[in-house]
């Protein structure tokens, strides 16, 4: 609804630069509520104050966000009051602080609301309450009649708050500390598994907070694993788990999945902690995977190697002559995607371009067993088998994003977008939120209604979609991400340290990606070295884009970057940025510091 200029002058906004006045604010009046009734719209009430810091922040961020401005103007009747001028309104509608945003119907009944909410989350909140109002009118009317306290919200839309993300991180860390084995490292007593998700969380937590105890737990666990019996000291590679607390007596099977994930963790930890043992261990894993699990003909990896205790107990000289344990030559999509991520990162850290070429060949193989409607087949023997497994598509989405960041080839980003579309269209539960683990085509399985959703796979899916949206600088999957994390926000505490990846996903959701835009020239050696340094530097929620001074002039203009200053890294989270970094010697430390500043 248009607002007269003299009405706008009655409103008081932040004294700093903002666009809050572009919202079509109305004064509190009978006219505003009559308009809401006539247009069948909800009233968005903003209660602010000239002395309120967060009110000013709300004006400068949320109420200056163009998508928020447009959505409010199109779908709500916005009303703004000053708390000091209208204490009567504040007393009835304040949501326990300032700024208050209250959503009212045309009779002034309080439906929902909150205090300060960042732009992207506020837009989600508005979309959800608008949709709820349009689609649940009868239910709302019943609740209004039943609600005796008209100043109390009749329903709450559980928008994810920053506090909930902090709670999840705190909960997981406390559980890791509680289960950590101070004597031998690792978690629990026996049997003892590597618990790679907990290790990833410790690396994330240390990078975010600088907590030395997190670094100590991570380092001791990895060191004792590498020096223990769970690691094959002769041929390399980790066995699946240790039957003893001190890592000395393994269960001897070797899995592609475990070694792929631990390969990347070791190199990320080496990158952060600078312990050469981790680099050596990673090299031994690579050697094992290439010699025992790699199919040179198809450029892919096999699934696992049998647990033959007699073989592994042989002395090194006799083992070389003995018959090796059987390898399962099934080619699994989800596990190969993890291998691709491990080898691509290894190529960066170990400065070996052959790994990139290997993984391009691997991705080309899996492109041949991709279905345009259902995504990747799950496994391959003589032919591809079993469509419709979520984990295959989630892991491959991440692998394609890794390959895109390294090669800067749009073909991989396009394919990643296509995979994401399939994940959303085929696996997302529109009713309850979250992603189903599989698409049931088996007649017998259809009779078993199992809609249980896995917190790990769902958290990985949310992270992958947030990463894609970060690269594209869009919010294409905001609804699916939000509903997925909300689903598990009610139950994550029953998972203990198994909620590690969920906590990381919550942090990404609340804080957004650490955007690093690198400006340079592809034919410039200094640029290539600089870009590689950015890619291999570990930082939580990092999203990297390359902008070429020759081919991407319009992007440079749009972002206001200088084409004369390169290579340069522009580091931002949301609206917060630091000065561009041009010195390769400084970029690693600057990225790490940025991870701690922007939290």
Question: What radius of gyration, in Å, describes the C-alpha atoms of the chain?
Answer: 27
| Residue at which a domain ends, from 511, 542, 562 | 511
| Cα separation of the two ends of the chain | 38
Q: How far is CA 406 from the centre of its chain?
A: 19
Report the interhelical angle of 256-273 vs 333-349 (nearest 10°).
30
The answer to the question of residue 533 being in a domain is: yes
Q: Which ranges of 249-389 does DSSP label H, i.e. alpha helix?
A: 256-273, 276-288, 309-312, 316-319, 333-349, 354-367
Same domain flag for 469 and 345: yes
Pairing of strands 294-295, 300-301: antiparallel
Domain shared by 444 and 561, yes or no:
no
Task: Please give the Cα distance from 176 to 186 (Å, whole number).
Answer: 9
The answer to the question of residue 135 being in a domain is: yes
- Residue 118 tokens read as 């960042």
Instruction: Print the domain residue range for 32.
Output: 5-146
pLDDT at 84: 79
Sequence-distant (≥ 6) Cβ neighbours of residue 148 within 8 angstroms: none
Same-domain pairing of 169 and 125: no
In-domain check, residue 29? yes
Provide the residue-wise pLDDT of the chain in tens; the chain has 599 residues. Answer: 333 333 344 688 998 899 999 999 999 999 999 999 999 999 999 999 888 888 998 999 999 999 999 999 999 999 999 987 888 888 888 887 789 999 999 988 888 888 888 888 889 889 988 988 888 888 888 878 776 555 567 665 555 556 677 889 999 999 999 999 999 999 999 999 999 999 999 999 999 999 999 999 999 999 999 999 999 999 999 999 999 999 999 999 999 999 999 999 999 999 999 999 999 999 999 999 999 999 999 999 999 999 989 999 999 999 988 999 999 999 999 999 999 999 999 999 999 999 999 999 999 999 999 999 999 999 999 899 999 999 999 999 999 999 999 999 999 999 999 999 999 999 999 988 999 998 867 655 565 656 779 999 999 999 999 999 999 999 899 999 999 999 998 899 999 999 999 999 999 998 889 999 999 998 999 999 999 999 999 999 999 999 999 898 888 888 888 888 899 999 988 767 888 999 999 999 999 988 876 55
277 and 407 share one domain? yes
**φ, ψ for residue 537, nearest 5 deg:** -70, 125
Q: Smallest Cα–Cα separation from 424: which of 469, 369, 455, 383?
A: 469
Q: Do the domain assignments include residue 273? A: yes
> In terms of domains, do 202 and 346 share one?
yes
Residues 19, 64 contacting (CB under 8 angstroms):
yes
- Cα separation values, 6 from 3, 21, 77, 100, Å: 8, 12, 18, 24
Instruction: Give every CB contact of residue 449 below 8 A, 6+ residues apart in sequence.
Output: none
Q: Which residue has the tokens 């902008």?
A: 547
Strands 568-573 and 576-577: antiparallel
* Tally of structural domains, the chain: 3
> Is the domain of 286 the same as that of 196?
yes
Give CA angle at 540 (537, 544), nearest 5°. Answer: 60
Q: Which conformational region is residue 178 in: left (phi greater than 0), alpha (psi within -120 to 50 degrees), or beta?
A: alpha
Local structure of 49: helix, strand or coil? coil
Taking every pair of Cα atoms in the chain, the longest distance, rounded to a whole number of angstroms, is 92
Q: Does residue 153 lie in a domain region?
A: no
Residue 447: its pLDDT value, please?
A: 59
Please indicate, yes or no, if residue 151 is contained in any of the structural domains: no
Indicate the pTM of the whole model: 0.78
Contact (CB, 8 A) for 70 and 10:
no
Q: Running DSSP on this structure, what letter comes out for residue 187?
A: B
Q: Give the CATH number, domain containing residue 543.
A: 3.40.30.10
My answer on whether 582 and 497 are in the same domain is no
Q: What is the 3-state secondary structure (H, E, C) of 435-489?
A: ECCECCCCHHHHCCCCCCCCHHHHHHHHHHHHHHHHHHCCCCCHHHHHHHHHHHH
In a domain, 430, yes or no: yes
| 122 and 25 both lie in a single domain | yes
One domain for residues 50 and 175? no
Could you tell me whether strands 250-251 and 110-114 are parallel, antiparallel, or unpaired per DSSP bridges?
A: unpaired
Q: Of the candidates 478, 511, 544, which is a domain's last residue?
A: 511
Angle, helix 500-511 to helix 196-209, in steps of 10 degrees: 40
Q: How many CB atoms lie within 10 A of CB 267?
A: 25
Residue 156 located in a structural domain: no
Residues 6+ apart with CB under 8 A from 161: 510
Q: Are residues 105 and 170 in the same domain?
A: no
Contact 545, 515 (CB under 8 A): yes
Tell me, yes or no, whether 98 and 175 share the same domain: no
Say whether both 216 and 346 belong to one domain.
Answer: yes
Residue after which a domain boundary falls, among 482, 511, 540: 511
Where residue 453 sits, what CATH number does that domain have?
Answer: 1.50.10.10
């Amino acid at each position: 609804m248009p607002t007269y200029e003299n009405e706008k002058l009655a409103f008081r906004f932040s004294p700093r630069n903002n666009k809050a006045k572009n919202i079509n604010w109305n004064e509190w009046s009978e006219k505003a509520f009559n308009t809401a009734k006539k247009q069948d719209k909800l009233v968005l009430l903003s209660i602010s104050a000239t002395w309120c810091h967060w009110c000013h922040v709300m004006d400068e961020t949320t109420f200056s966000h163009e998508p928020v401005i447009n959505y409010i103007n199109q779908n709500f009747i916005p009303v703004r009051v000053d708390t000091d001028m209208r204490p009567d309104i504040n007393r009835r509608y304040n949501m326990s602080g300032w700024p208050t945003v209250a959503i009212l119907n045309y009779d002034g009944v309080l439906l929902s609301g909150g205090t300060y909410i960042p732009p992207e989350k506020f837009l989600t909140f508005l979309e959800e309450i608008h949709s709820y109002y349009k689609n649940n009118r009868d239910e709302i009317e019943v609740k209004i009649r039943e609600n005796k306290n008209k100043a109390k919200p009749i329903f709450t839309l559980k928008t994810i708050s920053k506090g909930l993300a902090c709670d999840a991180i705190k909960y997981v860390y406390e559980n890791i500390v509680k289960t950590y084995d101070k004597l031998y490292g690792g978690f629990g007593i026996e049997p003892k598994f590597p618990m790679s998700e907990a290790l990833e969380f410790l690396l994330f937590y240390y990078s975010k907070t600088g907590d030395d105890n997190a670094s100590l737990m991570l380092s001791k666990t990895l060191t004792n694993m590498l020096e223990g019996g769970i690691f094959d000291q002769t041929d390399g590679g980790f066995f699946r788990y240790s039957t003893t607390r001190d890592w000395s007596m393994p269960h001897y099977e070797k899995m592609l999945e475990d070694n792929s994930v631990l390969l990347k963790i070791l190199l990320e930890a080496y990158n952060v902690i600078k312990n050469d043992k981790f680099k050596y261990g990673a090299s031994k894993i690579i050697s094992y995977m290439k010699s025992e699990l790699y199919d040179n003909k198809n450029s892919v990896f096999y699934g696992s190697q049998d647990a033959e205790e007699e073989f592994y107990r042989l002395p090194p000289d006799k083992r070389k002559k003995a018959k090796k344990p059987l390898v399962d030559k099934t080619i699994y999509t989800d596990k190969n995607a993890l291998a691709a991520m491990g080898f691509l990162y290894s190529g960066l850290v170990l400065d070996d371009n052959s790994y990139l070429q290997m993984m391009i060949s691997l991705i080309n193989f899996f492109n041949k067993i991709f279905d345009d409607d259902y995504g990747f087949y799950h496994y391959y023997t003589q032919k591809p088998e079993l469509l419709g497994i979520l984990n295959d598509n989630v892991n491959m989405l991440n692998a394609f994003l890794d390959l895109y960041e390294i090669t800067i080839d749009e073909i991989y980003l396009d394919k990643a977008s296509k995979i994401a579309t399939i994940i959303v269209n085929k696996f997302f539960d529109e009713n309850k939120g979250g992603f189903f683990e599989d698409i049931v085509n088996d007649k017998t399985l259809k009779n078993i209604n199992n809609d249980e959703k896995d917190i790990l796979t769902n958290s990985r899916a949310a992270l992958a979609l947030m990463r894609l949206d970060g690269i594209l600088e869009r919010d294409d999957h905001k609804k699916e991400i939000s509903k997925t994390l909300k689903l598990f926000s009610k139950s994550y505490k029953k998972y203990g340290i198994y909620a590690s990846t969920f906590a990381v996903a919550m942090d990404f959701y609340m804080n957004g990606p650490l955007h690093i835009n690198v400006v340079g020239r592809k034919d410039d050696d200094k640029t290539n070295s600089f870009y590689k340094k950015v890619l291999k530097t570990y930082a939580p929620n990092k999203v990297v884009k390359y902008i070429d001074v020759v081919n991407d002039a319009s992007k440079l203009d749009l972002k206001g970057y200088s084409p004369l200053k390169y290579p340069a890294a522009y580091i931002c989270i949301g609206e917060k940025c630091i000065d561009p970094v041009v010195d390769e010697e400084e970029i690693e430390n600057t990225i790490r510091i940025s991870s701690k500043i922007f939290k």
